[in-house]
Structure 1
């Protein structure tokens, strides 16, 4: 008797067995996230998810959650919502980070399709907010992806960015009956193509100016100093990124400085703080500066509002005269090329 006897399918499977198509490889890129809107409740949901992440705020829950739920989430959604409103795309009804991430995904999909055909499926998810990591993992598996390359869009590794994105990806896999094979793309801060893309953005920005800035400030997202002391490599990778960029540009040490932004809470964070540092530069006679944010793969609230708002104002109020912000790499062709090559290296042996 054949294996198919009595099944009604002719292939040895039960009559209601799920259909299976051609096997594909998924590429899932992940960014931090964005609220669904800048209204109070959208902001509160987003901030609650973000600030409840133990990778971001590692205080014991009994100590942190009462403060978060009763004080911070009562006030902060209003101030954060007002900041998001300043940069919100009303026509698309989404934040710039969402718009840019969609454009990056489309560009990467086109590049990888040109190279591999329809065997690779590219999509994106957000660590906080929508679309969720779980939703997109399910979607890739439903499309026949038996292997997934997961890429957090953070050039430098940090527990509060790369690691928590990976955590969420693995949580999503825990929900699957049949898990795909997976690979995690590591940090790429010293990848020559990434450094080349950064250098190109600086060169173009300087060429468009009618003056040469006195120096370039590379402003990275900050973190508590304690995290570095506990083993997080982020600080060292940021410093090396700055050095590699400076060397690629052929500049001296006085031409590019490193600082850290987005300080939160009462702990000491990585120094110097950008908002204070640019004011010190202005008072010291550096009246014309440029600022770049190499840790951000896409322009977002920290670059469009914080750097071009609070940080620029601090520089101007201290006597600064010319402030130039150099946009993130976003979906620039050189950036997409760098990301494509990083992904291709992680596809080796699979396709």
Structure 2
């Protein structure tokens, strides 16, 4: 493979450092055609679907895409905002705030966001950072718990991109932060803030995205990391074993996935007489289809229809100050040894830039 053309080299140019916040992705619009493009890229990833390629090609293109695209588009339309995809908007705002906060903490780094599937595409973002003179890149997945189906797929995309690059930047990859103290504290503050306004539930349900059970049997640590996150958060919230439960959502296909499944669990809780449940999705750091539609709409209806009285969905971390602080701490720990510290004069400029970042994030939220 012939390497891509390198940017023009300038003698004396100072190499820059960048942090790339990478999320799963989202369709460009809540339409059948846009969703079909997105699903095709997503479900064609061998990390996501471990079925022989030839057989899966016919299943995907002959059955799933024709039948699922329109139904999924309707679901996306139910949570779409005037500014676009919630997941994309939250991820962009997190990146904007993270750059400002890193500057306040004394670091001269660029911060960009990218999507594993959809836009802005990870290879395009990496190419732009190279053109901007970034020779040190930290990849920060938006997934606290590692899985071969998510985090590893991001790493695949990074490595694949650089197979065609002659002058590869220095790379660092964040594998996971499921038990990072700042992440757990951000979750704790989010839950306690919600309970301060709405009181406590009879049961807290921590719903994580599901993966096929066979991945656990083959050595994927995702299941264990989800449960560790839940245990640490429950301890911080001073919850007994009877006050919370871990479940897994978003099952796809007929194979057995990690259990217990979220929707059937909520139905059982309602039938067992649990009046109020609060559902938190700790594995999602930005609200998206799986939280806003699958949980806050579908799961709510399941619980209430089965006899439950109150269903509360606790939003994702999104742009909460504690989460931006956690992101900065996670990034800092992986930047150690790289020359990112600002001079005193640059620090003052960074403070002003941070204020501008917060204002930009506010305007993004206002749709301006």
TM-score bucket of the superposed structures, by smaller chain: over 0.9
Q: Match for 2:192 among 203, 220, 231?
A: 203
TM-score normalised by L of structure 1: 0.93
Question: What's 1:7 paired with?
Answer: none
Kindly state the Cα deviation for residue 175 of structure 1 after the two structures are TM-superposed.
2.4
Distance 1:197 1:148 in 2: 25
Distance 2:232 2:105 in 1: 29
Q: Match for 2:176 among 183, 187, 190?
A: 187
Q: Match for 1:18 among 3, 9, 14?
A: 9
Question: What's 1:328 paired with?
Answer: 316
1:86 and 2:78 aligned: yes
Q: Match for 2:92 among 102, 107, 125?
A: 102
| SS state at 2:200 partner | coil
Distance 1:173 1:109 in 2: 25
The residue correspondences of 1:1-351 to structure 2 (distance < 5 A) are 18-19=9-10, 21-90=13-82, 92=83, 94-117=84-107, 119-209=108-198, 211-351=199-339
CA contact (8 A) 1:262 1:302 kept: yes
**Residues 175, 115 of structure 1: CA spacing in aligned structure 2 closer, same or farther, 3 A cutoff?**
farther
In structure 2, runs of 5+ residues without a counterpart are 1-6, 340-368
CA offset digits 1:303-326 (Å, max 9, x no partner): 000001111111011001100100
Kindly state the Cα deviation for residue 18 of structure 1 after the two structures are TM-superposed.
3.4
Q: CA RMSD in A?
A: 1.2
Q: Which has the higher contact order (CA 8 A, sep 6+)?
A: 2
Aligned residue pairs total 332
Answer with 1 or 2: which has the greater Rg.
1
**Residues 17, 284 of structure 1: CA spacing in aligned structure 2 closer, same or farther, 3 A cutoff?**
closer
Distance 1:263 1:251 in 2: 27
CA contact (8 A) 1:152 1:166 kept: no
CA offset digits 1:57-99 (Å, max 9, x no partner): 0100111110110111101110000000011113x2x210011
Distance 2:313 2:8 in 1: 56
Kindly state the Cα deviation for residue 17 of structure 1 after the two structures are TM-superposed.
5.4
Distance 2:36 2:254 in 1: 21
TM-score normalised by L of structure 2: 0.88
Distance 1:126 1:164 in 2: 11
CA offset digits 1:189-227 (Å, max 9, x no partner): 101111111111111111111x43101000000011001
